[in-house]
Amino acid sequence: MNSIARTETGNLLERNHCVVRLPLGLLGFERCKSFTLFARPEEEPFLWLQAVGNPKLAFLVMSPFIAVPDYLPAIPEEDAQFLGLEGPEDALIINIVTVRAGRQATINLKGPIVLNRRTLKAKQVIPLNASELSVAHPLPIRSR
């Protein structure tokens, strides 16, 4: 049985930044287990995820639902348990954006970062329906 719920892209960053714990790191970056998540108003809807202790390692991220409103990653039960999620309303999802040459950008829908918004524990999750999700979904970029 699937349980589906909606939660707001809430006020996670009330002071514009917070420290997110990724006990398993990001795939390929397993040693970086702590990141600062912060927003700069002029860059909305993007956020930055910057490694604590290594400012030279950062990822541009955003809520996937802005670009793909019907995005529906199926989070494995063991990941929900790992993150201590008692229901979908506890979770916040952000996805990594790749800025490419020629002012193009893509969002990785296959490897969402799921956060427990109460504890700020997070994990880059591979959804059960990953085979249906693009690792490089194009973002609509405004030409100047």
In the complex, least distance from residue 134 CB atom to another protein, rounded to whole angstroms: 10
Stated length of the chain: 144
As given in the structure block, the two tokens for residue 15 are 């002071």
As given in the structure block, the two tokens for residue 7 are 């939660």
In the complex, least distance from residue 112 CB atom to another protein, rounded to whole angstroms: 8
In the complex, least distance from residue 19 CB atom to another protein, rounded to whole angstroms: 14
As given in the structure block, the two tokens for residue 26 are 């990001």
- Of 19 and 135, the one with the shorter C-beta distance to another protein is 135
Phi, psi dihedral angles at 138 (to 5 degrees) = -65, 140
